[in-house]
Amino acid sequence: MRSDRKLIMELKCNMTFRWFVGLDISSEVWDDSTFSKNQEHWFDKSDVLERLFDDTVKTAMQPRCWWQPSSSAMASALPPSRST
């Protein structure tokens, strides 16, 4: 997300964003300036985001992390058979 203000705007009108952060349809969305201040307070003096990033990269680099063979994926990759 490009900015906190854009994130808050999406939370106000996009149910997928609300679901992801645990807000239901009747929950109040945070004020963008309060959100920014809390973000600074929680993350600027901590290495939690760096550790999260490192763990995500480590997981993504493990074998078979991104793709698991399945019959439906392989079937859709095969050319159509010709009936004669």
pLDDT tens-digit series, residues 37-83:
777 777 777 788 788 889 988 888 887 656 556 655 555 555 666 66
**Beta carbons within 10 angstroms of residue 37's beta carbon:** 12
Q: Which H or E element spans position 17?
A: helix 15-21
Q: Is residue 34 part of a domain?
A: yes
For residue 30, pLDDT beyond 80? yes
Report the C-alpha gap between 57 and 81 in whole angstroms. Answer: 40
More confident residue, 9 or 69: 9
Range of the domain at 16: 1-56
In sequence order, which residues have a C-beta less than 8 Å from that of residue 21 and are 6 or more positions away? 11
Quote the pLDDT of residue 7.
86
Q: What is the mean pLDDT of residues 22-28?
A: 89
Total domain count, the chain = 1
Q: How far is CA 84 from the centre of its chain?
A: 48
Q: Is residue 62 part of a domain?
A: no
Tell me the whole-structure pTM to 2 decimals: 0.44
For residue 9, pLDDT beyond 70? yes
